[in-house]
Structure 1
Amino acid sequence: MSDPAPAAPGATLPFLRDNAPFLSAGVLISFTSSYGQTFFIALFAAQIMATFSLTDGQWGLLYAVATTASAAAMVFVGPVTDRLRVRQLAVATCVLLTLACLTMAGAGHAALLVLAVFLLRFAGQGMMSHLAAVAMARWFVATRGRALSISAMGFALGQAILPILFVAGLGVMDWRWLWGIAALATVATIPVLLRLLRAERTPQSIAREQPIAGMSGRHWTRGAMLRHPLFWGLVPLLLGPPAFGTALWFHQVHLTVVKGWSLTGYVALMPLFTVVSVATTLLSGVVLDRIGSARMIKVYMLPFALAFFLMGWAETLAGAALALCVFALGTGSQATVPTAFWAEFYGTRHLGAIKALATAIMVLGSAIGPGLTGWVIDLGVDFPGQMTAIGVYFLFAGGLAAVTVTRVRASLAAAEIDVIRP
Structure 2
Amino acid sequence: MPFLTFLKSNFRWIAGGFLLTFFSTVGQTSFMGGSAGYLRAEYGLSNGQWGLVYMIGTLCSALTLPYLGQIVDRYPARKVALFVLPMLALAATLMALSHHVLLLVLTVYLLRLFGQGMSPHLAYTATARWFSAQRGKALSLVILGHNAGEAVLISSFAVLAGWLGWRGGWLFYAALVALFALPAVLALVSVERQPGSGEVNPRVVDARDWSRSEVLRDPLFYLFMLGFMAPGFIVTVVFFHQVYLSELRGWTPGIFASAFVVWAFVNSIFTLLSGQLIDRFSGLALLPFVLLPLGMAAAMLGFVAAPWAPFAFMVLVGMSAGLSTTLFGAVWPELYGLKHLGSIRALGISAAVFASAAGPGLTGYLIDIGVSYPGQLIAMGLYCVFASLVFWYVAKTARARNAC
TM-score, L = length of structure 2: 0.92
**CA contact 1:311–1:323 (8 Å) conserved in 2:** yes
Q: Classify 1:197/1:408 alpha carbon distance in 2 versus 1 (closer, same or farther; 3 Å).
A: closer
Selected match of 1:297 from 280, 287, 308? 287
Distance 2:305 2:223 in 1: 35
Matches within 5 A, 1:9-408: 11-188=2-179, 189-202=181-194, 205=197, 214-215=206-207, 218-265=208-255, 267-318=257-308, 320-408=310-398
Deviation at 1:113, TM superposition (A): 1.9
SS of 2:70's equivalent? helix
Distance 1:377 1:303 in 2: 25
Deviation at 1:191, TM superposition (A): 1.7
Q: Mean Cα displacement is larger for which, 101-110 or 24-33?
A: 101-110
Distance 2:361 2:81 in 1: 31
Deviation at 1:316, TM superposition (A): 2.7
Q: Classify 1:41/1:256 alpha carbon distance in 2 versus 1 (closer, same or farther; 3 Å).
A: closer
Show the counterpart of 1:420. Answer: none
**CA contact 1:60–1:371 (8 Å) conserved in 2:** yes
Deviation at 1:364, TM superposition (A): 1.0
Q: Classify 1:348/1:18 alpha carbon distance in 2 versus 1 (closer, same or farther; 3 Å).
A: same
Q: Deviations over 1:331-383 (max 9, x none)?
A: 11122111100012211110000111111111111111122223333343322
Distance 2:54 2:342 in 1: 26
Q: Classify 1:388/1:79 alpha carbon distance in 2 versus 1 (closer, same or farther; 3 Å).
A: same
Distance 2:14 2:394 in 1: 33
> How many percent of aligned residue pairs carry the same amino acid?
36
Distance 1:395 1:295 in 2: 17
Distance 2:242 2:211 in 1: 40
Q: Classify 1:311/1:54 alpha carbon distance in 2 versus 1 (closer, same or farther; 3 Å).
A: closer
Aligned AA (1:235): M
Distance 2:124 2:166 in 1: 31
Aligned AA (1:290): R
SS of 1:169's equivalent? helix
Deviation at 1:399, TM superposition (A): 0.7
**CA contact 1:213–1:347 (8 Å) conserved in 2:** no
Distance 1:314 1:106 in 2: 39
Q: CA RMSD in A?
A: 2.3
Q: Deviations over 1:263-290 (max 9, x none)?
A: 4455543322221111111100110000
**CA contact 1:243–1:368 (8 Å) conserved in 2:** yes
Aligned AA (2:154): P
Q: Deviations over 1:54-76 (max 9, x none)?
A: 33332221111000100110011
Distance 1:317 1:205 in 2: 50
Distance 1:153 1:237 in 2: 22
Distance 2:109 2:13 in 1: 29
Q: Classify 1:202/1:368 alpha carbon distance in 2 versus 1 (closer, same or farther; 3 Å).
A: same
Distance 2:305 2:323 in 1: 27
Distance 1:253 1:184 in 2: 27
Q: Classify 1:190/1:14 alpha carbon distance in 2 versus 1 (closer, same or farther; 3 Å).
A: same
Distance 2:78 2:216 in 1: 29
Q: Mean Cα displacement is larger for which, 114-123 or 104-113?
A: 104-113
Aligned AA (2:177): T
Aligned AA (1:199): V
Q: Classify 1:211/1:105 alpha carbon distance in 2 versus 1 (closer, same or farther; 3 Å).
A: farther
**CA contact 1:139–1:206 (8 Å) conserved in 2:** no
Deviation at 1:297, TM superposition (A): 0.8
Show the counterpart of 1:4. Answer: none
Deviation at 1:122, TM superposition (A): 0.6
How many residues of Structure 1 are paired with residues of Structure 2 in the alignment? 401
Distance 1:52 1:16 in 2: 47
